[in-house]
Amino acid sequence: MPNPLVGVPEALAEAELGESAAHLMVDDSIYPLEAVYGASFTFLDRCFVLIDRPEPGRFRVTLSTKKPGADEATLRALVGEFANELLAQAWRRKIVEENRATLEAVTMQAIGGAMGPPTLDELEDFDFSEEPFEDPLGIAMSWEEKYGKKTPPKGDADASAASADAAAEDAAEDATADQDSDAKGGAE
C-alpha cells in the first residue's frame, strides 16, 4: 500500500515500504525522456529502476533498493537525490542543445586539422580566383604598406623633377664660368 513521503508533495512521490520502493511522478514537459534516462543511469548501481508511462505527459519512475527492508528515510533520500539528478540532467541537455552548433564547428575544425596539409593535386584544384576579403582596418596590410615611406603623388613628382632639372642646369653654368675664369688667369 503506497504511503506519502514526509516532506515531498503527495502528488509527486509515494513510498511502498513493503516493496522497499518509492514512486516518483515526472512531468515530461519539464523533464524530457533523455533527462529521465540520464538520471536513471546514475542510479542503476544503487537501485532497481523502472520507468513507466501511466498517462501521456507523465513518467512514473520506481526506485527499489537492492536490499529489501528499506525504511522511509532511505526512500525519501533516494527520491530527493533522484529529483536533483533529474534537474541536473535536464539542464545539461539544454546547454548541449544551445551549444550544439559550436560543438560541431570545433569538432569539424579539429578533424580538418588532423587530416594534414593539402596535397599538390588538391592545391592545383583549389580556386584562387576569389576576391580578397574586405579589410577596412588594414589588418592584413604589411608593415611597409602601412607605415613605410610614402611615394609622392604624380603632380608633385613632375614638379620635383622640373626643379631637379633646373638645379642641374645652374650647376653646369657655374662650372663653365669657373673654367673660363681659370683660362683667363692662366693667359695673364
Partner 1 sequence: MRELRFPKEVYPGAHVDAAMKVYARFGEFEREESETHWVVRITSGSRAKERRLAGELGNYALGLTIQGRDPLDGSPEDRATPGGAS
Nearer to partner 1, 48 or 91 (CB): 48
Question: Residue 40 CB, nearest distance to partner 1 (Å)?
Answer: 6
Nearer to partner 1, 48 or 126 (CB): 48
Nearer to partner 1, 69 or 153 (CB): 69
Q: Residue numbers of the site for partner 1 (CB under 8 A)?
A: 19, 32-34, 37-38, 40-41, 44, 48-53, 59, 64, 66, 68, 96, 100
Question: Residue 75 CB, nearest distance to partner 1 (Å)?
Answer: 15
Helices (H), 48-139: 72-98, 100-114, 120-125
Question: Residue 143 CB, nearest distance to partner 1 (Å)?
Answer: 47
Q: How far is CA 176 from CA 132, 166, 167, 168, 173, in A?
A: 58, 16, 15, 13, 5
Nearer to partner 1, 51 or 167 (CB): 51
CA pair distance 103, 67, nearest whole angstrom: 42
DSSP summary character for residue 126: S
3-state secondary structure of 51: strand
Residues 6+ apart with CB under 8 A from 95: none
Question: Residue 62 CB, nearest distance to partner 1 (Å)?
Answer: 9
